[in-house]
Amino acid sequence: MKTLRLILGDQLNSKHSWFKGDQSNFVYCLFEMRQETDNVKHHIQKVVGFFAAMQEFSDHLQSQGCELVYYTLDHKDNTQSLTENLKQLIEKHTISTFEFQEPDEYRLDQQLLEFCKTLSIHSECFSTEHFYTKRQDLGTFFKDKKQWLMENFYRDMRKKHDVLMVANQPEGGKWNYDKSNRNKWKEKESIPEFKTFKNEVSNIKRTIASQNIETIGHFNTEYFEYPINRSQALEQLKYFCEHLLIHFGDYQDAMHTEQVYLFHSRLSFAMNCKIISPKAIITTVLNYWRKHGEHINISQVEGFIRQIIGWREYMRGMYWALMPEYKSLNYLENKNNLPAFFWTGDTKMICLKSAINNSLDKGYAHHIQRLMITGNFALLTQINPDQVDAWYLGIYVDAVEWVQLPNTRGMSQFADGGKIATKPYVSSGSYINKMSNYCDDCYYNKKEKIGDKACPFNSLYWNFLDDKREKLSSIFRMKMMYSLLNKMSAEDLYNIKTRAKDIIKNPDFF
């Protein structure tokens, strides 16, 4: 009698305690399934990347002596359903116990909980042993609090895990160096050629094509260039510490037409598959900084750590505290359709053309491109958040729902009415110009609000504030902008709104 252990495609943690000790009584299983490829339309590189990482993990476990059943997408016994595949294996291998790790997506969590209720054998759920926090820790931390501010949670995490702390005080004297992390990259500091991995995936691409899986985006090589195993992830992390950390914080919000990655680590895919843990990353970065970082300012390190121990853990906590209702929230009642150029990059707006083409070509855009370019435009044009969610979940190789949904529906689209963000993250063209070179050669004039060549973001911004006045004007952080809006003449506002309405009605014209 054996125990069947399920590993999901984002649970590729080779350091998990499951894999210690005698393995003779365990059968592991890992499935490529249409259940997952078809839940939204995914980027071709995302599907290939997950399958490549899963196959690497399968090979690793078998090399360690584990018995493992792996269903490729075209395997003859693959039912394409998680629960049907499990039923099949339980019967075939005379399984007496079923074990699984906590899924990080609510949909899969519910599917497995319901499945376990149907079993006549014992079942048990285990931690993924990946995150710093447990699912419900954030809800407990903020219990009875009016606002669930990330900064408060982040400071508590720093203290609890002794990260950048000296005698219960923040190392360097500040908790947060965010004001030092908002520089425009002006090509003074050279960016090292980014590290890529030549993971050969032609067989996976052929299988996906043969099974007629609908995907988006481009994949013009036979190689997947992000890390797909722990060795590669550690190599990428080492490269980040030695070449990119020195300017990460300075330019983490910067954007540039000729630079896809700037000083970003490119570790998010590996981390979200659990190939490498946040604790391993933070420990390595801190150790490197303390040993070799005499020329690296603390602001670079703190900015990076805040993204992981603060923002990433916070988003996961919010996801589990607010689901399943969270997925249907639409506080601003936005109902418009996503423009067609989100799938093609075909627009005269350089900022959107650059961010979307990066996304289509690489399955990648960093957090400010997602928040203040594509997300900003989607919110200003009042797109239905369901459509925005589906696009973000599908297009990025690192996108898994627990982190994508609260970032998109909450932070980016303010569809939760302020549960995550204290104000809508919207801006006119001035912010985009401040943080990028996108405006330099754009068809549109960043300073104009009306007229055929006026930057669309300018009229859309003021129109959005006016349209959503009832829901947003009482927000403290919006009062200054509403004060400016209230001083605008009726004629100017009319002309701005006329221009904005034309853009909203015909976004693919611009």
pLDDT tens profile 136-146: 999 999 998 88
- What distance in Å separates the CA atoms of residue 228 and residue 270, rounded to the nearest whole number? 6
Token duo for residue 414: 């303010």
pLDDT recorded at residue 438 = 97
pLDDT recorded at residue 459 = 98
Type of residue found at 383: I
Domains and CATH numbers, the chain: 2-126 (3.40.50.620), 137-194+229-322 (1.25.40.80), 328-509 (1.10.579.10)
pLDDT recorded at residue 23 = 95
| DSSP-derived 3-state class of residue 41 | coil
Of 493, 382, 419, the C-alpha closest to 148 is 419
Q: For residue 249, with 0-12 CB atoms within 10 Å meaning exposed, 13-18 middle and 19 or more buried, which class applies?
A: buried
Asked if residues 326 and 406 have their Cβ atoms less than 8 Å apart, the reply is yes
pLDDT recorded at residue 85 = 98
* Distance between start and end Cα atoms, the chain: 64
Asked if residues 421 and 411 have their Cβ atoms less than 8 Å apart, the reply is yes
Token duo for residue 301: 């390190």
pLDDT recorded at residue 125 = 98
Q: Which long-range contacts (CB under 8 A, 24 or more apart) does 136-141 make?
A: 136/317, 136/320, 136/321, 137/317, 138/313, 138/314, 138/316, 138/317, 138/318, 138/320, 138/321, 139/317, 139/320, 139/321, 141/317
Asked if residues 468 and 499 have their Cβ atoms less than 8 Å apart, the reply is no
pLDDT recorded at residue 147 = 87
- What distance in Å separates the CA atoms of residue 485 and residue 501, rounded to the nearest whole number? 17
- What distance in Å separates the CA atoms of residue 310 and residue 296, rounded to the nearest whole number? 21
- What distance in Å separates the CA atoms of residue 343 and residue 305, rounded to the nearest whole number? 33
Beta strands 223-224; 199-200: pairing state: antiparallel
CA distances from 480 to 91, 149, 474, 486 (A): 65, 21, 11, 10
- What distance in Å separates the CA atoms of residue 67 and residue 52, rounded to the nearest whole number? 19
What is the model's pTM?
0.95
Phi–psi pair at 30, nearest 5 degrees: -145, 130
Contacts of 442 (CB under 8 A, 6+ apart): 348, 349, 350, 351, 455
CA distances from 11 to 29, 33, 37, 366, 400 (A): 12, 15, 17, 23, 12
pLDDT recorded at residue 293 = 80
Which residues of the chain fall below pLDDT 50? Answer: none
- What distance in Å separates the CA atoms of residue 421 and residue 408, rounded to the nearest whole number? 11
Half-sphere exposure of 487 (CA within 13 A, CB side): 5
Residue 4 is inside which H or E element, if any?
strand 2-6
- What distance in Å separates the CA atoms of residue 190 and residue 262, rounded to the nearest whole number? 9
